[in-house]
A and B are shown apart, each in its own frame.
Chain A
Amino acid sequence: SQQGEEDPQALSIQEGENATMNCSYKTSINNLQWYRQNSGRGLVHLILIRSNEREKHSGRLRVTLDTSKKSSSLLITASRAADTASYFCATVQINTDKLIFGTGTRLQVFP
């Protein structure tokens, strides 16, 4: 079974609104990463948060990590139509070299 599960599976919002995606995972991790995938393309790294960090910002992105709940959230503020994509969380399990992805959230931003 996969390490990460994103919620919701799909999200539709209007431009200017905020989008929040959640990721839950099963085992202890070294870090958690968020990636974006445009249709038909490879994934692009967005942000990495280490297990000893609780919050991280990058531009319009804000990521939180709660290791006690084994969960993370990705907030995209003031969304744009160009943010339309699928978003995935990925985790490196402690004592392994495996980067395991979740099932993703499909975000649609309407102009």
Chain B
Amino acid sequence: DAGITQSPRYKITETGRQVTLMCHQTWSHSYMFWYRQDLGHGLRLIYYSAAADITDKGEVPDGYVVSRSKTENFPLTLESATRSQTSVYFCASSDQINSPLHFGNGTRLTVT
């Protein structure tokens, strides 16, 4: 089915561990985004990508790493997870920067 999928849906990890959240879209959209959602902060942009091999920082990039070797995939890695990174993470894509975003259903990450 066409769409944007995130995995895993839920993840519990320990402080200091590396964890990777996956995002895959089937539309061949150029743009992909990672947001985190926390109570009281709405959605905050972590990283985004305008095309394969092109990535840029958002509002809150510290502690995160992204890559985009293929157009359809945009993984987000927490190199050394901290409790402050406990959040719901959303991936989104769009064909142009001024076009609507299509969101995945999110990954709920808990860092203990």
The SS class assigned to the A binding surface is strand
Hey, which chain A residues are within 8 Å of B97, CB to CB?
30, 92, 97, 99
* B44 close to A2 (CB less than 8 A): yes
How many residue pairs link A and B with beta carbons under 8 A? The number is 63
Which of B13-21, B62-70, B74-82, B100-108 lies on the face that meets chain A?
A: B100-108
* A2 close to B41 (CB less than 8 A): yes
* B42 close to A97 (CB less than 8 A): no
Hey, which chain A residues are within 8 Å of B92, CB to CB?
42-43
A100 at the interface (CB under 8 A from B): yes
* A99 close to B45 (CB less than 8 A): yes
Query: Given A42-B106, A98-B48, are A103 and B101 neighbors across the interface (CB < 8 Å)?
Result: no
What is the size category of the interface that chain B forms with chain A? 20 to 34
* A43 close to B42 (CB less than 8 A): no
* B31 close to A98 (CB less than 8 A): no
* B103 close to A44 (CB less than 8 A): yes
A55 vs chain B, min Cβ distance (A): 19
Hey, which chain B residues are within 8 Å of A25, CB to CB?
none
Hey, which chain A residues are within 8 Å of B48, CB to CB?
97-99
Query: Could you tell me which A residues sit within 8 Å of B by CB distance?
Result: 2, 4, 30-31, 33, 35, 40-45, 48, 88, 90, 92, 97-104
Query: Could you tell me which B residues sit within 8 Å of A by CB distance?
Result: 31, 33, 35, 40-45, 48, 50, 56, 58-59, 90, 92, 97-106
